[in-house]
Structure 1
């Protein structure tokens, strides 16, 4: 019974052990499904199940019929046009990161959008090229088709290299799509949880630095080869600075002017976004002006600047991936697949929370997988979602993926009709536009200080991820970061927080005794908490912490007691000890014997429970013992293990725990386990944990139940700290009253 009394509460109930509580309240033994039950359920077929699967696989069928045409169509059109213009420019710019001709970036901005419209579950993300993925694909391209540095290189050779690079980019994109599709079909959408926000932040920041360095050759127009190997960024910078005197001044000036304008206007868009009806399309404005200036001034001939050149009109026929290339880029494809999904899912999650709808991680994997398969087949490169482009789609009023279809229509117009207008555009302008989209990622450097103050483990993960990705490359760096992050999880779980608890405020609340001054510790009772799962990697650490908390090693005490019993038996036989009604008295000098002689190679016997059946009296180990017999003093009689934070216990830990508990029980210390989660006892019974020494009755619902049980058992009713008012006829019921005493009891035992 629970009764509110002002801002206090009064609880009247018996002291419960787990078994007593289950018996009294008739616990139901529910049937738990086995693996085969779940497997049968997966393969069960019914019309309703087929319908659910179809709707989940094709989300467009669910939301398109419910589309509010009159309310949303205008917003989606405006958003789609703005997003499409940005997608065109980013597609051209990010193609430079992939080391393929700019026109292929338009394919990457077109096909995945169409696929995502049908299969995707997010309403607001803009699918297409993303600088981090583009750089990762570009790294694979450079590794398999390296730059040919030759002064007499012909256009034929350049064209052949470009074709080969396009094929590599398409193949690695296709394979990454296959991996994403398989992961989605196998319901592995949860894989993103292994990439923490700190890891993603550090990785994308490092990728932004790589993008910055990789674009220097276009901004300065220098013949810098690609380096896709550890410390490649160092070699790239060395190559840039060794040729810095060959910089094309026109490209440098253009790059700096464009970069400053883009940064300033983007800052204005952020600062005045509440007042602006739509963000200023500065990328489009700069691109149009730069193309016009380049065309009318004829910068290509006068200043020898590098331009985009003629873009191929229309689409090329789909191609099958090169099997030889696929065999060489399996690892790269896995990294690209995971990073692409992690970034896209993170952005989609933000918008789904903001606009109150759900997204399906497994379906997102399928959508991006199919998008990359189709995009790779048409010679595009890997797609995800660019943060800035998705921000444009959402901030300009986009409601659904209809905006994505409109944006793909803009890209289609450029591919089919007006791509030739971009021919005079300088590549340095595209490089500056690519850098202009890195502000958000580069600003993540500020997170280091914040993380250090909030969580040092996360800060270390960020720094290690950043440094690994910078110096080892994005692919090896990502693998290193994931391995390091998992290592920190192992370290944290291997060294769990273990504390000794005490009663606080004479209530039923138990906290770390070091944190409070108003505490009460029952005499002879230790309350030990482990705030972590206990498994093979940390069970020995937990055992050592428990031994440290109680102040003695139970196995050592047990062996000392058994050795003492051997000595006393020998002394009784020799007449060196005399029995009195109270104790044993030494009546003769005892010949000292070494422990090794007493052991006599029977160490196993010393680990068994103490046996006093042959002695005429029971030995009180806390009293004075005969001379020459020394046994460590034990000042506690009960230990309570708080298992409320122990979510699981594996078999290896179970064996060690059982052995440890037996060691305590054999030296007459009562063990109690409190707060174990439901099903804990069932698992222990299945694993044969219980025997004559370790019994289910040691489990209690709460720490306080165990404490009250101990106090009653040890007859501490007269303790000044505990007010136990006896009242015949009320059984074991207690009323918890937060007043001066620890508890007030109603009834007798």
Structure 2
């Protein structure tokens, strides 16, 4: 029989709420400055990735900010890794986007009026939120049932192969934004082939301004990231090239008026503040069980793999079952507030760790940065090209 001794209750509480064990022993004077610097850098990257990855989900960019905010708050309380950055992950975004396009395809857009497009976007947001909610439920159940060990049976080669293949799909899915072509979503076997066929059949209609901007940004980011890697021992902190490029691109687009002069696609107005929480759509849940299970397992496998790397590097334990619970609750809360599936992005976690992040205090600071954008300064990103 299980006893309910104070010692056992304490052990269960510490296991379920890891924050109780590490926050009271937080070395404020030693770590707070590093966590603040790391959190600011990570938060800025999270904002940009949230906007970008929302496009993979086929929903308006602003909803990516919700995915970069709510799961972070939940993970701060329930997570066991000190260094991973929780939020949107391109592979999961693409998987959610597949379900979104299948249930709300492009061809139902009809005459393409602004009213109709707005209704389509609302429907797609609801699908993404419902799929995310259900994947969170599956993760939570797996955590409660102590299924964290399943990651042992997912080999590194399997995860690497899957993420590499998904990365190719991510690149191909971005071509329509780089070239500004009306390419529909193809959620069927060999969809990547149909996407490429659609791109090349319309290649003569490419928006040159968008293409040039994309190539210049790719070149600059690639070169600076190589410099960051090569000279990381000499640099006090990596050059925040994503932030610098975003600020510069937004300023140029605004003052040159790219949208009107060159007819480029921009992020546009972001809704300020939060929307009321919503219940998942039962009809969507019934049609997305398979998608949600896949998203739940892949999201956990990737996040735990990254968490394990940092736990070994910095010599502290991470609990697979507790990670399932943390991500499950994060996706349930995020889906309720119209966000989409979260995990951890290796690049964003790399920023959090390499800029001095010591604990998930850095994660909370990054969430504050996202919050500031949501509540007040999102309009500054409106002229940014997609």
TM-score range, shorter chain: over 0.9
Q: What is the CA distance between 1:165 and its match in structure 2?
A: 0.5
Contact 1:149 1:225 in 2 (8 A): no
Superposition pairs of residues 288-687 of structure 1, within 5 angstroms: 288-424=247-383
For residues 147 and 226 of structure 2, what CA distance do their matches in structure 1 show? 39
Q: CA RMSD in A?
A: 0.9
For residues 369 and 333 of structure 2, what CA distance do their matches in structure 1 show? 19
Contact 1:311 1:419 in 2 (8 A): yes
Q: What is the CA distance between 1:47 and its match in structure 2?
A: 2.3
Q: What is the CA distance between 1:229 and its match in structure 2?
A: 1.0
Superposition pairs of residues 144-159 of structure 1, within 5 angstroms: 144-148=103-107, 152-159=111-118
State whether structure 2 residue 16 is matched by structure 1 residue 57.
yes
Give 1 or 2: higher strand fraction.
1
- Could you tell which deviates more after superposition, 150-159 or 243-252? 150-159
Q: What is the CA distance between 1:98 and its match in structure 2?
A: 0.6
**CA separation of 1:161/1:150 partners in 2, compared to 1, >3 Å: closer, same or farther?**
closer
Deviations 1:530-575 (CA, angstroms, capped at 9, x unpaired): xxxxxxxxxxxxxxxxxxxxxxxxxxxxxxxxxxxxxxxxxxxxxx
Contact 1:175 1:326 in 2 (8 A): yes
Contact 1:109 1:129 in 2 (8 A): yes
Deviations 1:182-208 (CA, angstroms, capped at 9, x unpaired): 000000000111211000000000000
Q: Which has the higher contact order (CA 8 A, sep 6+)?
A: 2
Contact 1:190 1:361 in 2 (8 A): yes
For residues 110 and 150 of structure 1, what CA distance do their matches in structure 2 show? 30
* SS of residue in 1 equivalent to 2:107: coil
Deviations 1:287-318 (CA, angstroms, capped at 9, x unpaired): 11111111111111111100000000000000
Q: What is the CA distance between 1:150 and its match in structure 2?
A: 6.5
Q: What is the CA distance between 1:149 and its match in structure 2?
A: 7.2
Contact 2:109 2:117 in 1 (8 A): no
For residues 236 and 78 of structure 1, what CA distance do their matches in structure 2 show? 41
* Structure 1 gaps, min length 5: 1-42, 425-749
Q: Which runs of 4+ in 1 moved over 6 A?
A: none
Contact 2:75 2:330 in 1 (8 A): yes
Q: What is the CA distance between 1:263 and its match in structure 2?
A: 0.6
For residues 316 and 277 of structure 1, what CA distance do their matches in structure 2 show? 40
Deviations 1:194-229 (CA, angstroms, capped at 9, x unpaired): 211000000000000000000000000000000111
Q: What is the CA distance between 1:152 and its match in structure 2?
A: 3.8
For residues 248 and 51 of structure 1, what CA distance do their matches in structure 2 show? 61
For residues 85 and 94 of structure 1, what CA distance do their matches in structure 2 show? 14
* SS of residue in 1 equivalent to 2:54: helix
Contact 1:87 1:109 in 2 (8 A): yes
Contact 2:109 2:116 in 1 (8 A): no
Contact 2:270 2:378 in 1 (8 A): yes
For residues 195 and 100 of structure 1, what CA distance do their matches in structure 2 show? 31
Contact 2:180 2:207 in 1 (8 A): yes
Deviations 1:560-615 (CA, angstroms, capped at 9, x unpaired): xxxxxxxxxxxxxxxxxxxxxxxxxxxxxxxxxxxxxxxxxxxxxxxxxxxxxxxx
Q: What is the CA distance between 1:44 and its match in structure 2?
A: 4.0
Superposition pairs of residues 248-263 of structure 1, within 5 angstroms: 248-263=207-222
Contact 2:110 2:116 in 1 (8 A): no
Deviations 1:652-679 (CA, angstroms, capped at 9, x unpaired): xxxxxxxxxxxxxxxxxxxxxxxxxxxx
Q: What is the CA distance between 1:148 and its match in structure 2?
A: 2.6
Q: What is the CA distance between 1:348 and its match in structure 2?
A: 0.3
For residues 47 and 207 of structure 1, what CA distance do their matches in structure 2 show? 48
Q: What is the CA distance between 1:50 and its match in structure 2?
A: 1.4
For residues 256 and 110 of structure 2, what CA distance do their matches in structure 1 show? 28
Per the normalisation by structure 2, the TM-score is: 0.98
**CA separation of 1:252/1:64 partners in 2, compared to 1, >3 Å: closer, same or farther?**
same
Q: What is the CA distance between 1:87 and its match in structure 2?
A: 0.5
Deviations 1:310-341 (CA, angstroms, capped at 9, x unpaired): 00000000000000000000000000000000
* SS of residue in 2 equivalent to 1:215: helix
Give the aligned length.
382
* SS of residue in 2 equivalent to 1:314: coil
Deviations 1:389-426 (CA, angstroms, capped at 9, x unpaired): 000000011000000000000000000010001111xx
Q: What is the CA distance between 1:51 and its match in structure 2?
A: 1.3
Per the normalisation by structure 1, the TM-score is: 0.51
For residues 134 and 150 of structure 1, what CA distance do their matches in structure 2 show? 22
Max Rg structure: 1
Which residue of structure 2 lines up, in the alignment, with residue 126 of structure 1?
85
Deviations 1:698-728 (CA, angstroms, capped at 9, x unpaired): xxxxxxxxxxxxxxxxxxxxxxxxxxxxxxx
Deviations 1:111-139 (CA, angstroms, capped at 9, x unpaired): 00000000000000000000101111111
Q: What is the CA distance between 1:46 and its match in structure 2?
A: 2.6
Give 1 or 2: higher helix fraction.
2
Contact 2:56 2:170 in 1 (8 A): yes
- Paired residue for 2:97, among 138, 143, 158? 138
**CA separation of 1:149/1:186 partners in 2, compared to 1, >3 Å: closer, same or farther?**
closer
For residues 52 and 260 of structure 1, what CA distance do their matches in structure 2 show? 52
For residues 250 and 149 of structure 1, what CA distance do their matches in structure 2 show? 29
* Structure 2 gaps, min length 5: none
Contact 2:138 2:296 in 1 (8 A): yes
Contact 1:85 1:411 in 2 (8 A): yes
Contact 2:109 2:120 in 1 (8 A): no
Deviations 1:469-490 (CA, angstroms, capped at 9, x unpaired): xxxxxxxxxxxxxxxxxxxxxx
Contact 2:72 2:363 in 1 (8 A): yes
* SS of residue in 2 equivalent to 1:316: coil
* SS of residue in 1 equivalent to 2:24: coil
Which residue of structure 1 lines up, in the alignment, with residue 151 of structure 2?
192
